[in-house]
Structure 1
Amino acid sequence: MVTIEDVAKKAGVSIATVSRVLNNANNVSEKTKLKVWKAIEELNYKPKILASALARHKEKFRVGICESKRLIDMEKEKVVPEFYTVILTALEKTGEAYGIKFCKMDLFNPSECDGYILVGGDTTKELIKEYKNLKKPFLLLDHYIPGEKVDCIVTNGFDGAYFATKYLIKKGLRKIYHIHGPLNSYGFKGRFDGYTSAMEEAGLLPKYYEYDDVKDNMSDVIDFMLRKNERPEAIFASNDITAMRVIRELKKRNIKVPKDVSVIGFDDIISAESFDPPLTTLKVFKDEMGSLAAKRIYELLVGQDLHPIMMSLFTKFIKRKSSI
């Protein structure tokens, strides 16, 4: 019989750390959580909390994790999408306690399931209509579409971006520019609006640049920014991957971070802390997003509290060395 001690030994952590992970405590890093969950999976360890929950819930459900083509392609190529890996790991592990078996599938071509979780910002109004026609419970994870009253779990990007921008302003910086992804994404749009609001409240002119991470046009974006305007004092990026690309391009041009330009990202992915320089960012509570999504889809599957809800998690500012 596999014990919690076996899990701790395999993961290279203490028994107390394994216990904190099982209880979804906040004081464990995402990197450590993933190590523990991997050990649990490899050893096929069944925590008592899961065993007791499974005993209470007799029904078993099959739920589709509906991913965009881009996410599916990344996984096929063994590219780890850091942001969603943490969310989906927490989703699957919490779902076990409710008798849910998750199956990954194509967002645009779902197979027969008891319910669906639509992951990321690729969902459209047209797609929502198709899922409604399936007459099965579903929710959006990390996305919201204005006017569509469907269940969703999101991050409060407005509040995080507003806080980060105000932080830079309080430090005496005025030339603060925003580099963002496509604004059809609810997450990027909220961060765009939060940055704009903070700048306008301070009587400062917002300046925006859109980055295409598929084409990876960051070099062109930075060149255009430096040609068109004075060098920024700070750049707020709509996610950590974008912030890291910004820093790499600034380094190529002998612009020092944070001495010449402060850079702040968003998400606090695992590699943000080990980046050079370690990235100042807004921490998204990704494991909580996954856990809440599992609990909510279960409620919908058993017909509990069916009126659609939107759960929005606040972020936490993480100060590191990429900003003053």
Structure 2
Amino acid sequence: MTSARKPVSGTSAVPQRPSMADVARMAGVSAQTVSRVSNGQANVDEATRTRVLEAMAALGYRPNGAARALKSGRFHTIGVIMTSLQTLGNIRALDAISTEAARAGYSVLLMPIADTTLPRVSGAYRRMTAQAVDGAVIILQARFLDETAFTLPPGVPVVVIDSGTSPGYTIVATDHALGARQATGHLLGLGHRQVWHIAGPQTSFSAAHRAESWAAALRDAGLTPPPPLHGDWTAESGYRHGLTLARRPDVTAIFAANDQMALGVMRALRELGRDIPGDVSVVGFDDMDVAASLWPPLTTVRQDFDTVGRLSVRRLLAKVSAGAASEAGTTIVPTRLIIRASTAVPRA
């Protein structure tokens, strides 16, 4: 005679995951009503919706995301392809994207890439489309995107931040040209007879547009632009170029393409005994959180990273909803000059 198998000591049966039927029984509604609430549909009265949500919470019920995606055709996830988490602009934009996506009920899948060559970008895009996303935001700031040859494989909808692309893409961009004109015009308006520029990397879309606009503003004022000095966005590169400029008595105004490089410039000027702004005025770009706390407080161009990130998600979700009917276009977010104590009228 075979005895009944006893449970192994110290173990217990795995609890069964609550089902939609369990929620329906507790809330006193049909499974179809539970499904409508799970999918966020509007055709459920608020009292019923509240009962269903309370039953879900009490039972620990979680809708099956994969099943919902199959039914609705949406995964409620957007992808973000970007090259760096070390620059202020990328971090602030990613934060705004994540916040806006969460507000819309979407998750964010981040896919960093090592460089911005077209094969790398295309490869990252193909990998991302295999990850069940509804759309993708691309943050590269790479000049090659200006080329008309830039194309991505057909797939999920895309919004590109801060890059010029071939026709057919939806773009959200900061008005880098406006910001550079504001910075250069401010220094010229104070009476400086020349403005030197510490530019960002030559491969950068935003750096190129700032440098081009700086040079154009000088030419419009009847001045020949001096050669720009290219940094890599870091304070150290600003410091190196700042040492070069600080040794020149004819340099009275410097526009750095970001605040970190401006910070390095200010250090170099002080080390070589140049007063800010008495001897040299300095303008940055970004308006990082500590810009107002530097000494002297830094005059800079404020980028609205929050608006750029927020609009990129809104444009992307509009494309997701419109499908093939969606139209490409460019949204430009203006900059604002923040005048502080690092700039002044040049000494006679």
Shorter-chain TM-score above 0.5: yes
Q: Given residue 203 of structure 2, which amino acid in structure 1 is its aligned partner?
A: N
Q: CA deviation at 1:126?
A: 11
Q: CA deviation at 1:318?
A: 0.4
Aligned twin of 1:84:
90
Q: Given residue 171 of structure 1, which amino acid in structure 2 is its aligned partner?
A: L
3-state DSSP of counterpart to 2:311: helix
Task: Note the alpha carbon deviations across 1:66-121, whole angstroms, 9 max, x for none.
Answer: 121x42xx4xxxxxx43333322221121223332111112443432222111131
Aligned twin of 2:319:
300
What is the aligned residue count?
Answer: 261
Map 1:89-104 → 2, pairs under 5 A = 89-104=95-110
Q: CA deviation at 1:247?
A: 0.8
Q: CA deviation at 1:128?
A: 9.9
Distance 1:92 1:212, change over 3 A: closer
Instruction: Give the whole-Å Cα distance in 1 for the aligned partners of 2:237 and 2:163.
Output: 25
- From 77, 82, 105, the counterpart of 1:62: 77
Aligned twin of 1:310:
330
Percent of aligned pairs sharing the same letter:
25
Task: Note the alpha carbon deviations across 1:256-300, whole angstroms, 9 max, x for none.
Answer: 111110000111111211222211011111111111011011011
Under a length normalisation based on structure 1, what TM-score does the superposition of the two structures give?
A: 0.72
3-state DSSP of counterpart to 1:189: helix
Q: Does 2:140 match 1:120?
A: yes
Q: CA deviation at 1:60?
A: 4.5
Q: Does 2:177 match 1:158?
A: yes
Give unmatched runs, 5+ long, in structure 2.
Answer: 1-39, 44-71, 114-119
Q: CA deviation at 1:129?
A: 7.6
Instruction: Give the whole-Å Cα distance in 1 for the aligned partners of 2:141 and 2:291.
Output: 22
3-state DSSP of counterpart to 2:310: helix
Aligned twin of 1:36:
none
Q: Does 2:159 match 1:139?
A: yes
- From 207, 212, 216, the counterpart of 2:232: 212
Kept in 2: contact 1:82–1:270 (CA 8 A)? no
Q: Given residue 106 of structure 2, which amino acid in structure 1 is its aligned partner?
A: I
Instruction: Give the whole-Å Cα distance in 2 for the aligned partners of 1:55 and 1:276.
Output: 55
Aligned twin of 2:274:
255
RMSD: 2.9
Aligned twin of 1:13:
none
Under a length normalisation based on structure 2, what TM-score does the superposition of the two structures give?
A: 0.67
Q: CA deviation at 1:307?
A: 1.8
Kept in 1: contact 2:135–2:320 (CA 8 A)? yes
